[in-house]
């Protein structure tokens, strides 16, 4: 089994360190030095106890490590996306799905059948749904509808279900009804469900209210398990919680294979669209429907990488560079930096101390300089590969995603490992001595 991706991250300020890697058979491991020299690794397990070993559960591998899985750390957990398998999040103990793939299932609401053994009605003034009949009326109608959503163990909430069929109850002068709701069970990793309800769509006189009352859903309760099937609702309208805004919740974007965190917000993209989607602040798995930014067009090629810096999130496309600026409070907005120069090798991007970001373009090696803000420092793109242009012309650009790079801090060098002369695997190491601005091969 050959390692095809590798990612290091730490928890608790470096007290616990992890080296995760995927292998060619679809397994997911972490390095475990205590098992050396026989088995210096351990398999990672999904939340249901199934090992990600290439058999019980598998990560897709397409015969080459060109793009592979992209990793991103948020709040001591690492997120993994590859555009094909379900996105994973590893918390140091187990893997679970990141976000939700779909809306919650529709709930079923019904009026309890009256009997001596159930609580279908109540005479309490502080419980029961709808209004008591008064005056000459002996009965009065009330109509309600419900929605449900799922929560995972990280407190991330799914999009809600469609509204249930409206339930009509009839109250007398002395008793109000309750409604029993049949709750759907969430997918693996669900630890709780939230129930929402409309206010009574009829007023105290039994007259239908404005249509808006049938479209606004308010928090009823949180059922803190994924087992309970029935919930008896006896909450009057005045005890309902906050209004739910469905547009604040969206599914995890499908086919995502580019991921980054910028200003406590998760950004996600894929290499098939020119759209970057972003989460609610501090809620990395909740993606509001309208939270998306369009970065150029298809002419500028696919999105190759998302690279966060202090002042901006840099979006590298094959033939363009864009910046995402702003913050969660005031909103994010895109800014075009270049429509000529782009990055064709995501793994070539590295931040060189004191200089900026070095990356490989189809036109050569470039340096992105500047503070990316109005600080007096000019933001610009500079070509630094002129001394080795003859060598760069031999690169097999069709295999550019296989390029790898790193920073050798001890010797003050940027290393760029490239495939040349038709090879699909890197077979030539280029070194940029960034303190003196010279190259060696």
3-state secondary structure of 346: helix
**pLDDT interval class at 377 (50, 70, 90):** low
Comparing C-alpha atoms, which of 160, 250, 236 is closest to residue 204?
236
- Which pLDDT value is given to residue 380? 85
Report if pTM > 0.75.
yes
- In the structure encoding, which two tokens stand for residue 69, read together? 């899985």
pLDDT at 136 (0 to 100) = 57
Instruction: Look at residue 224 and tell me whether its pLDDT is greater than 90.
Output: yes
**What is the band of 371 on the pLDDT scale with cuts at 50, 70, 90?**
low
Nearest alpha-carbon partner for 233 in 112, 105, 103, 133: 112
22 in Cβ contact with 30 (< 8 Å) = no
Is residue 174 scored above 90 in pLDDT? no
132 pLDDT more than 90? no
DSSP structure class, residue 390 = H
Q: Is the Cβ–Cβ distance between 269 and 313 less than 8 Å?
A: no
Strand 121-122 relative to strand 176-177: parallel, antiparallel, unpaired? antiparallel
Mean pLDDT of 159-171: 90
């Amino acid at each position: 089994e050959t390692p095809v991706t590798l990612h290091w991250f730490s928890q608790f300020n470096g007290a616990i360190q992890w080296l995760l890697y995927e292998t060619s058979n679809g397994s997911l491991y972490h390095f475990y030095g205590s098992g050396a020299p026989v088995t210096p690794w351990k398999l990672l397990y999904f939340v249901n106890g199934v090992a990600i070993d290439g058999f019980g559960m598998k990560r897709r591998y397409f015969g080459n490590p060109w793009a592979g899985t992209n990793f991103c750390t948020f709040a001591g957990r690492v997120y993994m996306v590859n555009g094909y398998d379900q996105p994973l999040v590893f918390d140091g103990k187990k893997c679970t799905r990141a976000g939700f793939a779909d809306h919650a299932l529709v709930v079923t609401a019904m009026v309890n059948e009256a009997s001596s053994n159930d609580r279908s009605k109540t005479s309490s003034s502080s419980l029961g749904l709808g209004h008591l009949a008064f005056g000459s009326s002996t009965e009065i109608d009330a109509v309600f509808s419900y929605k449900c959503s799922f929560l995972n163990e990280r407190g991330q909430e799914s999009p809600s279900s469609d509204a249930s069929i409206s339930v009509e109850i009839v109250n007398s002068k002395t008793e109000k009804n309750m409604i029993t709701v049949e709750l759907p069970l969430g997918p693996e990793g669900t630890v709780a469900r939230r129930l929402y309800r409309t206010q009574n769509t009829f007023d105290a006189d039994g007259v239908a209210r404005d249509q808006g009352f049938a479209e606004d859903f308010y928090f009823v309760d949180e059922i803190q398990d994924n087992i309970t099937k029935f919930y008896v609702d006896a909450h009057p309208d005045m005890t309902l919680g906050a209004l739910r805004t469905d547009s604040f919740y969206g599914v995890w974007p499908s086919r995502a294979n580019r991921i980054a965190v910028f200003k406590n917000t998760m950004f996600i993209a894929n290499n098939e669209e020119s759209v970057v989607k972003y989460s609610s602040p501090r809620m990395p798995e909740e993606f509001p429907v309208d939270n998306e930014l369009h970065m150029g067009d298809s002419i500028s090629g696919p999105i190759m990488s998302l690279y966060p810096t202090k002042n901006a999130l840099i979006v590298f496309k094959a033939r363009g560079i864009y910046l995402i600026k702003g913050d969660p409070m005031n909103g994010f907005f895109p800014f075009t930096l270049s429509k000529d120069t782009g990055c064709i090798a995501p793994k070539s991007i590295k931040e060189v101390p004191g200089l900026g970001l070095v990356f490989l373009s189809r036109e050569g090696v470039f340096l992105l300089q500047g503070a990316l803000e109005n600080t007096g420092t000019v933001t610009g793109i500079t070509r630094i590969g002129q001394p080795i242009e003859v060598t760069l012309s031999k690169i097999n650009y069709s295999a550019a995603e296989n390029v790898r790079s790193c920073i050798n801090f001890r010797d003050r060098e940027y290393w760029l490992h490239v495939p040349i002369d038709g090879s699909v695997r890197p077979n030539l190491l280029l070194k940029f001595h960034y303190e003196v601005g010279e190259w060696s091969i």
